Amino acid sequence: MNILYLGPMQENVNQNFIPLHSKNNLVITWLINILASTTLIGMFILLALLPIFIFSHTWVLIIIALAYYPILAIVAYRFFKYIKSKIAVTIKAINIDKQGVHFYKKDNSITHILYSQLEQSYLSDQYDVYLKQVNKTYHLAVRANGIETRVVFDGTDYGSMYYITNARALRARFIEGIVRFRPDLKVDPFIFKEFCIDPNQFTFDRKRYIKHIVKAALIIGLIILFSTLLAWLITLA
């Protein structure tokens, strides 16, 4: 099992650890909010008009409407109530310092994940800081106060509508803090590859990220080319 080498960072643990604050792009944030609101409103308008498009007979439409619209109203009410509860805990800002990471929410509450709260794995062959796959996306995961906690810096996991432009830098700084202040924890080396983090400088490795983008684009391009060629050969047969 490969364990991340922590020697140089342990020597520098007493050096200044510069806090990092999140940066929000207001233009993209507003575009996301407008697009999401427009999509939801359009979807419910379409659902409201659906019986009119399907049923041409008036008496059938009336019978269906008596059952359909009350159900639609209840579903819409519960859905928007759920959205409202999510918006209340929207992450407005993220701050990382010597204590840990702090998520500032729209309702003025703050969620903390402190380095002192992080725990070692019960099994010696497992990493204490690892990746958790959620919907084909990897999230950074730790154990804090006996609970597995996913640490997400773009805000999406918390129902956030704010677009954070330096999420990668925040993630790298948080991992740097773990290595500095909790050298007893084992960090999965794959984290640095997956999130394109320089394991020595703890900065976002843009070159590695671009390589990932290029590889993904090439694979998608080859798939499209092969599919197009296959479709062309089928038409010739």
- Nearest Cα neighbor of 91 from 20, 158, 150, 149 is 158
User: What is residue 204's predicted lDDT score, i.e. its pLDDT?
Assistant: 82
pTM higher than 0.85 for the full model? no
- Residue 116 contacts residue 184 (beta carbons within 8 Å): no
Point out the least confidently predicted range of 7-11, 21-25, 50-54: 7-11
Positive or negative: CA dihedral 229, 234, 236, 237: positive
pLDDT, average across residues 98-127:
86
Which letter, b or e, does each residue of 13-39 get, where b requires 16 or more Cβ atoms within 10 Å of its Cβ?
A: eeeebeebebebeeeeeeeeeeeeeee
pLDDT, average across residues 169-174:
93
Report CA 15 to chain centroid distance, whole Å. Answer: 31
Which letter, b or e, does each residue of 133-160 get, where b requires 16 or more Cβ atoms within 10 Å of its Cβ?
A: eeeeeebbbbbbeeeebebbbbbbeebb
User: What is residue 160's predicted lDDT score, i.e. its pLDDT?
Assistant: 53
Residue 169 has pLDDT above 50, yes or no: yes
User: What is residue 106's predicted lDDT score, i.e. its pLDDT?
Assistant: 82
User: What is residue 1's predicted lDDT score, i.e. its pLDDT?
Assistant: 42
pLDDT, average across residues 65-87:
86
- Residue type present at position 135: N
User: What is residue 177's predicted lDDT score, i.e. its pLDDT?
Assistant: 94
**% the chain with pLDDT above 70:** 89
Residue 162 has pLDDT above 50, yes or no: yes
pLDDT, average across residues 220-232:
87
Tell me the C-alpha distance between 132 and 97, whole Å.
24
Locate the domains of the chain by residue range: 10-26+91-213, 30-88
Residue found by looking up tokens 């940066």 in the block: 23
Q: Which residue has the higher pLDDT, 205 or 102?
A: 102
Residue 94 has pLDDT above 70, yes or no: yes
pLDDT, average across residues 89-97:
87
